[in-house]
Homo-oligomer: A and B are copies of this chain.
Amino acid sequence: MSGCPYFEKRHLLFKNKPPKAEEDEDASQAGVNKASKGGIIYGDYLQLDKIVSAQVLQSEVKGNKIHDEHLFIVTHQAYELWFKQILFELDSVRHIFISGHVRDERNMLKVNTRIHRIVMIFRLLVDQFAVLETMTALDFFDFREYLSPASGFQSLQFRLLENKIGVPDNLRVPYNRRHYRDNFKGSDSEMLLATEQEPTLLKLVEEWLERTPGLEVDGFNFWERLQINIFDGLNQEKERIEKMPDSEEKEEMTAELVKQREIFTSLFDEKRHDHLMSKGERRLSYKALQGALMIYFYREEPRFQVPFQLLTSLMDIDTLMTKWRYNHVCMVHRMIGSKAGTGGSSGYHYLRSTVSDRYKVFVDLFNLATFLVPRSWMPKLNPNVDTFLYMAECCDSSYCSSEDSD
């Protein structure tokens, strides 16, 4: 970056000494020596020779250079760069969960920060379409034939990203009746298969939600107490309404009450939950759903403030991915039209179909909004007893060791 003093000649003395043995000391010395004799320079550090030499226009190769192809390439490369960063953050968060480091609450800051960073990157990626939209359909037409048969369906990183977050194979919309993995071969295909089998972010969050303190049946027993309160509340409403004189309003309220009772009956019906899961309409286990609702209701408890932020950020990611898909659709419509009337499946219509709740991984977190209740119906906390303590299972280790979770 221009004159960025980040890179300024820095406190050579402040070594973050790697927590290793003597010889490392020497290694870092070597580093210092090298630095003072030149060390690494900006362009080498960023490997700019690779980055800024990677724009080869197919139209030029084929003898008919079209100016706008350069923008097309750079935009896609920028997308892929940021996908790499998202995957990096995603993997580090998944590692914190998988390794169990998440049980040390100190690591929640990291989890939250990195998930939030993914949110910020997606926000940029959504905006980034505005740049590519400076290219018109006519500019694009001039070179699009040269790209054949390269296809965005072949973006390995985007598919990895979907898999690692938790887009399930069986909910994907097929394109031209082909499985998405058929666009890849060899090691790429294997990588994709592997990510389908590894724990997804969804799965890891589910396990974490299932451990939400307060769910213990022999403890606070949130779920049972909530069920009792809700049906008590509904019954009181019923009595209140029945005492009202007959009126249109009374009828409306009665009908509404019936609807509400149905909704809440369904909430406490584990079998129905499992049925919805089997259809892909719910994604979180019954227990995890309970944890999420508990965090929603007690979000102001110190213990739940950061978890609540995490759930919010996960919805942000879902929303932004879906906005990204939608912006993509809009641009495609502009670039190639809908090809109405041509017969044959259209890329435009395929893409539109992916802007759907099927692709919302954390759809349950959104749908919990259906199950909100007045604060007075929430099971009361007894502040002397019901303290949801922090867990710090690794707390025998020194502070810095929590760093290892990277």
A79 adjacent to B1 (CB under 8 Å):
yes
A341 is an interface residue with CB less than 8 A from chain B: yes
A105 adjacent to B150 (CB under 8 Å):
no
Which stretch from A3-11, A193-201, A205-213, A221-229 is at the chain B interface? A3-11
A148 adjacent to B398 (CB under 8 Å):
no
A338 adjacent to B323 (CB under 8 Å):
no
A281 is an interface residue with CB less than 8 A from chain B: yes
Main secondary structure of the interface of A (DSSP, over half): helix
**Complex: how many Å from CA A77 to CA B51?**
7
- Contact flags A4-30 to B (C-beta < 8 A → 1, else 0): 111111111111111010001001100
- Contact flags A110-143 to B (C-beta < 8 A → 1, else 0): 1011001100110110011011001011101111
Residues of B within 8 A of A241 (CB): 13
**Complex: how many Å from CA A6 to CA B134?**
15
A31 adjacent to B146 (CB under 8 Å):
yes
Residues of B within 8 A of A134 (CB): 113, 116-117, 120
Q: What are 15 residue pairs bridging A and B, where the CB atoms are less than 8 Å apart in the complex?
A: A2-B158, A3-B354, A6-B144, A7-B150, A17-B64, A24-B63, A43-B156, A46-B76, A51-B54, A263-B339, A266-B341, A323-B326, A337-B366, A337-B367, A337-B370
In the complex, what residue of chain B is closest to A147 when comparing beta carbons? B7
A98 is an interface residue with CB less than 8 A from chain B: no
A189 is an interface residue with CB less than 8 A from chain B: no
A52 adjacent to B80 (CB under 8 Å):
yes
B399 adjacent to A380 (CB under 8 Å):
yes
B340 adjacent to A330 (CB under 8 Å):
no
- Contact flags A325-337 to B (C-beta < 8 A → 1, else 0): 1111010111111
Task: From the candidates B4, B64, B319, B334, name the one contacting A366 in the complex (CB within 8 A).
Answer: B334
**Complex: how many Å from CA A167 to CA B58?**
34
Residues of B within 8 A of A142 (CB): 16, 375
B256 adjacent to A13 (CB under 8 Å):
yes
Each complex incorporates copies of this chain amounting to: 4
In the complex, what residue of chain B is closest to A237 when comparing beta carbons? B13
Q: A134-B120, A146-B31, A341-B263 are in contact. Are A152 and B402 (CB under 8 A)?
A: no
For the complex of A and B, 10 pairs with smallest distance between CB atoms: A5-B347, A4-B152, A42-B154, A337-B369, A337-B370, A7-B151, A47-B54, A18-B64, A137-B369, A1-B152
A277 is an interface residue with CB less than 8 A from chain B: no
B154 adjacent to A77 (CB under 8 Å):
no
Q: Which residue, A159, A336, A380, has most C-beta atoms of chain B within 10 A?
A: A336
A153 adjacent to B336 (CB under 8 Å):
no
Residues of B within 8 A of A204 (CB): none
A171 is an interface residue with CB less than 8 A from chain B: no
Residues of B within 8 A of A38 (CB): 149
Task: From the candidates B152, B355, B368, B392, name the one contacting A383 in the complex (CB within 8 A).
Answer: B392
A179 is an interface residue with CB less than 8 A from chain B: no
Task: From the candidates B4, B64, B148, B276, name the one contacting A10 in the complex (CB within 8 A).
Answer: B148
**Complex: how many Å from CA A366 to CA B276?**
39
A217 is an interface residue with CB less than 8 A from chain B: no
**Complex: how many Å from CA A337 to CA B371?**
9
A50 is an interface residue with CB less than 8 A from chain B: yes
What's the least CB distance linking A19 to chain B, in Å?
Answer: 8
- Contact flags A294-337 to B (C-beta < 8 A → 1, else 0): 00111111100110100010010001001101111010111111
A376 is an interface residue with CB less than 8 A from chain B: yes
Residues of B within 8 A of A58 (CB): 40, 45
A191 is an interface residue with CB less than 8 A from chain B: no
